[in-house]
């Protein structure tokens, strides 16, 4: 048994999961020498599916208890926020491996099918983050990471003179922003949501929490899509849709489906009877549609009709994979806004067409709530030109996300309205808190923010602002109902702290973006204090521009109960990394996020437990991380170059060297021969790691790899394994 608290390392999906097979044995060999055990907990999509069906322990629920412990310490790698299509693929893979689990019933008719769908629904979308994020987010680039990026700038594509690229979003009373209402509860009470007097959902409201109600008008949405398609055609721009159907698993797939139908209006109209016959659901995208029509008498005819529309270039449609002919509508989870919009900015306001050409785009983001940020980001570059990576400043973020704050916690209270009428939100005593006049098909939702997370958000902001000595801006708009409630609370809670000498401001989204970007272009740093969804958008946009990837960001979540959650970066590109690895044995995933998270996780234990070995271990890892950056040991992108496996070797080498000359004599004696062996065998180890490059790999499954096969594929150096396993 270790004398110090253990660290829980999440077993998740795709590229970071493959990387874990190589990295975790190294991590444990080092940390156990200082009395810290790192254990895995399976919260992968496959693990959650098996758990939902009663065939595996419910590890996610167990971690939900850990985050409520004072010593809770979790390193969370990026997980799949599954779409229905991904869930079905995962189920099929598990069935192929011999697991006796039922298919996912898209349109359940019996009670048994409804029960199965309800169980599987717990695996859809943002199932993990709301459970684990029992604290607010402190996200920033480590100083060494930012310095490395400035000294080794990645390429950003210049914007063309007189660029026509822009973001289109809804305006007025049609979208979630325009229709929002908000109240703060005065006491604990039951709150009921009803449509025309028929209850949709009741919740247990908490005193001082903020409740928001709003809806997306589907008729306004359809009008908006039609308008943007016509504008793209007239301006000769690529039409691209940007949503987040993964995290917003109820609302955004519906919005995606309407866009799919709007772009291919004639095809959907002509084959409506066939689509109804085979159960086509436009919310699932083109890949699912093709599966549904497979073998049908009209299959070739329907595919030709879609292809004709794409090749007509009227307007052009953005592609997610030009080589495979996959458009923006392939699947709702293919284009995730906080990953896709930074690419639009990075590529000079461009997306790729069916020929692979990069052309200027109209980026379509229906809801203006967050589209205003992206609109200003793109407009700023059109006006001032591309950023200079070597000189640009940085954006740090303090994000309000504890206890399922805001839209990311709204899934249980989001409804596609079955009929037109009045939606009411009623207090326990019968008082109508909010009411909305809606049409059939409108998407109505309620979001919540509890008071304790808001207080902690303010505390964390004051602490970071004083520590950093730079301006902090609350991205809150007094004209947005939700923000108006938060502004009142934040201003009241700020009075509880000494803010003398601190520059803390309030700005609406557009103004905050301009303020931040002006400072970034001057090489200055700024703290953005935002809600949960904006946190995601900002902490992908700015790092991708500044660092080349958001996976290199420090993401620390001080948990409300006193523990710590350390998130390791974004996994948006993870599927392509896996494809490359399976085809040619090369994994280009960069585990720097894991390295940094581990250092912070160890540091957290050290703050509570004064231990000489732990202190030396943490200091040595900091030195190793700096060495990893200073010596440019990140994975190469191409087969034949040192990849993720080699990057883990170099971390081990630098870590052992730092320990060998470190402050703890016992660890120095233990790791001196390790450092010597790693250094002397460098050429042999790299040769063994590169020997598998260019060869197809079989790990036994995409969603549910075989541990033995995956470990063999990710630990191909017998020399390295012998050294590590002997520690």
Domain boundaries, given as residue ranges, for the chain:
166-174+218-384
- Measured distance CA(599)–CA(618) in Å, rounded: 6
Residue-averaged pLDDT of the chain: 95
473 pLDDT above the threshold of 90: yes
Give the three-state DSSP class for 167. strand
1 pLDDT above the threshold of 50: no
- Measured distance CA(523)–CA(42) in Å, rounded: 42
- Measured distance CA(543)–CA(396) in Å, rounded: 9
Task: Kindly indicate the confidence band of residue 547, based on its pLDDT and cuts at 50, 70 and 90.
Answer: very high
Tokens for 357, please give them: 């050409």
571 pLDDT above the threshold of 70: no
The secondary structure of the chain in percent helix, strand, coil, rounded to multiples of 5, reads 50, 15, 35
Residues ≥6 apart with Cβ < 8 Å to 643: 586, 587, 588, 635, 636, 689, 693
Q: Up-side HSE of residue 607: CA atoms within 13 Å toward CB? A: 13
2 pLDDT above the threshold of 60: no
- The region of weakest confidence among 118-127, 190-199, 295-304 is 118-127
- The region of weakest confidence among 391-405, 435-449, 571-585 is 571-585
- Measured distance CA(625)–CA(168) in Å, rounded: 42
Nearest to 85 by CA among 263, 259, 260, 291: 291
Q: Give the predicted TM-score (pTM) of the model.
A: 0.91
The distance in angstroms from the start CA to the end CA of the chain is 17
3 pLDDT above the threshold of 90: no
Nearest to 623 by CA among 645, 646, 580, 653: 653
- The region of weakest confidence among 123-127, 372-376, 385-389 is 123-127
pLDDT of residue 573: 59
Task: Kindly indicate the confidence band of residue 4, based on its pLDDT and cuts at 50, 70 and 90.
Answer: confident
Instruction: Report the pLDDT averaged over residues 250-276.
Output: 96
pLDDT of residue 312: 86
Provide the percentage of residues in the chain whose pLDDT is more than 70: 99
Q: What is the pLDDT of residues 330-369, one digit of tens each?
A: 999 888 898 899 999 999 999 999 999 999 999 999 999 9
Tokens for 155, please give them: 């390429």
The packing angle between helices 644-660 and 682-690, to 10°, is 160
Q: What is the pLDDT of residues 133-155, one digit of tens each?
A: 999 999 999 898 999 999 999 99
The values of phi and psi at residue 420, to 5°, are -75, 155
Question: How far is C-alpha 153 from the geometric centre of its chain's CA atoms?
Answer: 24
400 pLDDT above the threshold of 80: yes
- Measured distance CA(365)–CA(240) in Å, rounded: 9
- Measured distance CA(81)–CA(248) in Å, rounded: 10
463 pLDDT above the threshold of 90: yes
């Amino acid at each position: 048994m270790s004398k110090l608290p253990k660290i829980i390392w999440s077993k998740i999906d795709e590229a970071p999961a493959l990387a874990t097979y190589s990295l975790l044995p190294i991590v444990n060999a080092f940390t156990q020498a200082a009395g810290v055990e790192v254990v895995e907990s399976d919260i992968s999509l496959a693990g959650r599916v098996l758990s939902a069906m009663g065939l595996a322990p419910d590890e996610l629920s167990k971690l939900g208890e850990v985050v409520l412990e004072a010593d809770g310490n979790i390193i969370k790698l990026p997980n799949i926020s599954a779409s229905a299509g991904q869930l079905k693929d995962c189920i099929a893979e598990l069935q192929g491996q011999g697991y006796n689990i039922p298919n996912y019933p898209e349109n359940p008719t019996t009670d048994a099918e409804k029960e199965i769908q309800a169980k599987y629904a717990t695996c859809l979308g943002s199932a993990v983050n709301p459970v684990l994020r029992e604290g607010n987010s402190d996200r920033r680039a480590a100083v060494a990471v930012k310095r490395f990026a400035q000294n080794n700038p990645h390429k950003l594509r210049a914007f063309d003179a007189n660029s026509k690229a822009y973001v289109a979003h809804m305006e007025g009373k049609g979208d979630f922003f325009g229709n929002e209402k908000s109240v703060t509860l005065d006491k604990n009470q039951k709150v009921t949501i009803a449509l025309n007097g028929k209850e949709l959902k009741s919740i247990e409201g908490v005193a001082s929490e903020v409740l928001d109600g709003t809806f997306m008008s589907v008729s306004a949405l359809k009008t908006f899509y039609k308008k943007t398609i016509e504008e793209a055609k007239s301006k000769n721009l690529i039409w691209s849709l940007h949503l987040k159907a993964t995290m917003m698993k109820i609302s955004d797939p519906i919005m995606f489906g309407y866009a799919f139908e709007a772009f291919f209006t004639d095809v959907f109209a002509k084959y409506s009877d066939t689509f109804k016959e085979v159960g086509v659901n436009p919310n699932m995208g083109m890949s699912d549609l093709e599966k549904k029509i497979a073998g049908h008498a009209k299959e070739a005819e329907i595919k030709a009709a879609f292809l004709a529309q794409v090749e007509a270039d009227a307007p052009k449609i953005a592609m997610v994979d030009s080589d495979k002919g996959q458009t923006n509508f392939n699947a709702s989870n293919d284009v995730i806004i906080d990953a896709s919009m930074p690419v639009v900015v990075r590529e000079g306001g461009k997306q790729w067409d069916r020929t692979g050409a990069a052309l200027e785009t109209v980026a379509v983001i229906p809801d203006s709530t967050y589209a205003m940020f992206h609109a200003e980001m793109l407009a700023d570059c059109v006006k001032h030109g591309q950023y200079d990576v070597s000189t640009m400043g940085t954006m740090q973020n303090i994000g309000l996300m504890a206890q399922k704050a805001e839209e990311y916690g709204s899934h249980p209270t989001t409804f596609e309205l079955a009929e037109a009428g009045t939606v009411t939100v009623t207090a326990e005593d019968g008082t109508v808190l909010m009411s909305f006049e809606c049409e059939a098909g409108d998407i109505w939702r309620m979001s919540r923010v509890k008071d304790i997370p808001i207080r902690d958000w303010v505390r964390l902001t004051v602490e970071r602002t004083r520590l950093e000595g730079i301006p902090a801006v609350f991205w809150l708009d007094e004209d947005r109902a939700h923000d108006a409630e938060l502004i009142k609370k934040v201003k009241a809670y700020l009075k509880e702290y000494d803010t003398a000498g601190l520059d803390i401001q309030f700005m609406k989204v557009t103004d905050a973006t301009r303020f931040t970007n002006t400072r970034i272009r001057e090489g200055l740093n700024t703290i953005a204090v935002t809600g949960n969804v904006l946190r995601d958008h900002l902490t992908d946009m700015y790092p991708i521009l500044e660092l080349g990837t958001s996976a290199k960001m420090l993401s620390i979540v001080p948990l409300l109960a006193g523990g710590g959650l350390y998130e390791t970066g974004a996994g948006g590109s993870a599927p392509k990394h896996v494809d490359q690895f399976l085809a040619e044995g090369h994994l280009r995933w960069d585990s720097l996020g894991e390295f940094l998270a581990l250092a912070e996780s160890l540091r957290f234990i050290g703050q509570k437990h004064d231990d000489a070995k732990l202190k030396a271990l943490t200091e040595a890892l900091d030195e190793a991380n700096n060495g990893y950056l200073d010596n440019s040991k990140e994975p190469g992108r191409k087969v034949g170059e040192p990849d993720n496996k080699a990057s883990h070797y170099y971390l081990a080498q630098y870590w052992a060297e730092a320990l060998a000359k470190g402050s703890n004599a016992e660890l120095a004696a233990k790791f001196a021969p390790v450092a010597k062996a790693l250094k002397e065998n460098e050429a042999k180890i790299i040769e063994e790691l590169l020997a598998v490059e260019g060869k197809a790999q079989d790990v036994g499954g995409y969603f549910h790899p075989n541990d033995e096969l995956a470990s063999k594929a990710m630990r191909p150096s017998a020399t390295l394994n012998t050294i590590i396993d002997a520690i």
